[in-house]
């Protein structure tokens, strides 16, 4: 110990050990490290921060490491070290107590501390350049949820700014009655959309059930997804341009040639509609769908609550693209939802920007 507030430690593998007399100042008061027998063990990130704060010095192979030397050594010993350090330092200086966790960190609520209150968050740290597997993120969410924690993604950009995101699995449910049946309606597949020719049928589908967009005062255009869903429910009978009646499989085969994402988009659309929601294109917002819990046909579609994007279950997120999607959704007061087929069901993931 060099002075009353500075302790000397030793680097060994991925921990720094300090004499037990450091416990009162570093652990009992500030919750750094973990006491073990007659020593205090620090993680490399905790040690780096305490070197920066002038609270400890660290020796490795009889050589004292300054902050630069320690950071370089630690980054060789553990992956993603520098971005984790940036997040640790940021949260510590915001007044949070932080401990190692099964994601990257366990973070206690403001006013809480280890041994006195439960931790509130599991923090998952990423560099903006890292690809993020959907399966990895879901595993982290489930891990946090199993112990009643909230998962926070901390993404560090190239200028070391941090963006925090809340991520959770959720259910989707609307208040529309989409179960009513109607007589079979004749329609035609033209190229990338389906046309309903009869004025009465067009009005019923559009005004009562909120499908399609009016071409004029008589005819109605349906998207490929809407048409496939209605065909599957035997609401429409669809013919191709030569007058041949198409089965659902025939229609799907032709739709895939126009839109490669058709199968996963249809699976998500079907699930949302059957959960009582109104689903319309989200193209203007860069997503597959904008989704409403309920729409009053007399008032029209005023404000959708969600943007929903359909994914493959092995999808890999590009974090820059994720940032754009979430920022846009939040800026227009919508929730950004990602959806994918999970066995026989559809899973939904909500990601939103949060302030820490």
> 307: burial class by Cβ within 10 Å (0-12, 13-18, 19+)?
buried
Catalytic residue among 275, 280, 334, 348: 334
CA 2 to chain centre: 47
d(CA 39, CA 331): 50
Residue 56: partners with Cβ closer than 8 Å, 6 or more residues away: 6, 7, 8, 9, 16, 18, 22, 26, 42, 47, 50
Catalytic residue among 32, 292, 309, 348: 292
> 190: burial class by Cβ within 10 Å (0-12, 13-18, 19+)?
exposed
Where residue 342 falls (left for φ over 0; alpha for ψ -120 to 50; beta otherwise) is beta
Q: Is 292 a catalytic residue?
A: yes
Q: Is 206 a catalytic residue?
A: no
Catalytic residue among 303, 309, 315, 333: 303
Q: Are strands 220-222 and 278-281 parallel, antiparallel or unpaired?
A: unpaired
Q: Is 334 a catalytic residue?
A: yes
Contact call for residues 142 and 151 (beta carbons, < 8 A): no
Give catalytic residue positions. Answer: 292, 303, 334
């Amino acid at each position: 110990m060099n002075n009353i507030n500075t302790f000397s430690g030793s680097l060994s593998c991925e921990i720094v050990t300090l004499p037990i007399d450091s416990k009162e100042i570093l652990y009992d008061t500030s919750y750094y490290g973990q006491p073990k027998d007659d020593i205090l063990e620090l993680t490399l990130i905790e040690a780096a921060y305490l070197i920066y704060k002038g609270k400890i010095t660290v020796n490795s192979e009889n050589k004292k490491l300054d902050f630069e030397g320690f950071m370089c050594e630690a980054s060789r010993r553990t992956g993603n070290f520098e971005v984790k350090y940036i997040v640790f330092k940021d949260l510590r200086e915001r007044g949070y107590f932080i401990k190692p966790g099964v994601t990257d960190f366990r973070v206690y609520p403001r006013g809480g501390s280890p041994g006195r209150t439960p931790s509130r968050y599991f923090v998952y740290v990423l560099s903006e350049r890292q690809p993020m597997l959907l399966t990895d993120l879901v595993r982290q969410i489930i891990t946090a949820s199993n112990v009643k924690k909230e998962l926070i993604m901390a993404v560090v950009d190239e200028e070391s700014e941090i963006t925090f995101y809340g991520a959770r699995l959720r259910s989707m449910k609307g208040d529309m009655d989409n179960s009513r049946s109607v007589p079979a309606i004749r329609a035609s597949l033209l190229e990338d959309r389906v046309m309903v020719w009869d004025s009465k049928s067009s009005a019923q589908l559009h005004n009562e059930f909120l499908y399609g967009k009016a071409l004029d005062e008589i005819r109605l255009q349906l998207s490929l997804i809407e048409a496939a869903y209605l065909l599957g429910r035997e609401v429409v009978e669809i013919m191709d341009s030569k007058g041949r009646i198409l089965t659902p499989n025939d229609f799907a085969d032709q739709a895939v040639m126009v839109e490669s994402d058709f199968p996963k988009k249809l699976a998500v659309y079907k699930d949302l509609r059957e959960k009582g929601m109104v689903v319309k294109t989200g193209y203007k917002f860069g997503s597959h769908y904008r989704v409403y819990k309920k729409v009053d046909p007399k008032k029209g579609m005023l404000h959708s609550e969600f943007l929903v994007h359909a994914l493959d279950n092995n999808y890999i997120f590009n974090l820059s693209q994720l940032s754009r999607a979430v920022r846009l959704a939040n800026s227009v007061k919508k929730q950004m939802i990602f959806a994918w087929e999970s066995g026989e069901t559809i899973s939904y993931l909500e990601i939103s920007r949060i302030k820490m």
